[in-house]
Amino acid sequence: MQPQQTGPDQAFSVLIISSGRDAHLANAVRGISRSTRRPTEIVVCYLNQPEAVPPPSDVPLRVVHAASGPGEPLPLGAGRNAAAAAAQCETLVFLDVDCIPGIGMFEHLLSDLDRTGGLVMACPRYLAADADVPAWVSDGDEQVLIRDSVPHHARAALAPAQGEPAIASREYALFWSLGFAVHRETFERIGGFDESFAGYGGEDTDFAFTAQRQAVPLAFSGATMFHQHHGVHRPPLQHLESIVINAKAFRGKWGSWPMTGWLDAFARDGYVSWDRDGGDLRLLRRPAPDELAAARVNAPY
């Protein structure tokens, strides 16, 4: 293993998993290319997309693949782990395919990682449905993205003011993998993402809880990324089965329930039977097409 580099010349790899999100990926790569600190490389792990053609990139870009069986959920954990294993650098920045890094995101995030170590999460802003992303594509003016985005109401207080150092935190349950930096030795100490979690839901919290158990520090950075709009379901009925499976796995592993707000909503609407104080969670029915359509909203998040 190469010695860990630190400081302003520290080399780093940006890791992205993607499945059928080619337009979002192109914008993420475009944002990486415009950054004040460019990575040594971008590693894209395509999930169930064996014929994918990566977007043009001014930064060296390599491709790896991960796949699940027919009808099985996307292998999110396996994809992130495969990207990390393929990375050349000892400093890793995980970036969701939905996210455009702000021009100074990597500079700010890696400075915070040098200061705090452990896991350092960037701060998302959420682009509106009518955000003028094409104008940003054309001229690179980040003020357009700032103008047309909002912070997450429940997460804005986690990060410090713009330009201020990262805030150390014990709020491991609030960690998301949208965008975060970590040294490889720390990632390996955590053990990577638990690949037994199937598809969407709970794998982020499990990763963070494992980090806490390993005494890995957590900090929230003001480094800004912009989450690209794609509409959401409230509650996320399109992920109902994965959330139920993963919530039960999480409960068995940690003794507590994750995603309680979603489980409450599923139980209220009769999709699941859930004993919040016990260990019982059962899928009762799947949403009909009209129920899925009714749950879809065009909000930023």
pLDDT tens digit at each of 301 positions of the chain: 333 444 556 899 999 999 999 999 999 999 999 999 999 999 999 999 999 999 999 999 999 999 999 989 999 999 999 999 999 999 999 999 999 999 999 999 999 999 999 999 999 999 999 999 999 999 999 999 999 999 998 888 899 987 899 999 999 999 999 999 999 999 999 999 999 998 999 999 999 999 999 999 999 999 999 999 998 999 999 999 999 999 999 999 999 999 999 999 999 999 999 999 988 999 999 999 999 999 999 999 9
pLDDT at 291: 97
Distance separating alpha carbons of residues 117 and 251, to the nearest angstrom: 29
pTM, two decimal places: 0.95
Q: Tell me the torsion sign for CA atoms 180, 185, 186, 192.
A: positive
CA distance 191 to 207: 9
Domain range summary for the chain, segments of one domain joined by +: 13-230, 238-297
| Adjacent-strand bridge partners of 283 | 272
DSSP SS3 for 254 = helix
* Angle, CA of 227, 228 and 231, to the nearest 5°: 110
Topology at the third CATH level for domain 13-230: Spore Coat Polysaccharide Biosynthesis Protein SpsA; Chain A (3.90.550)
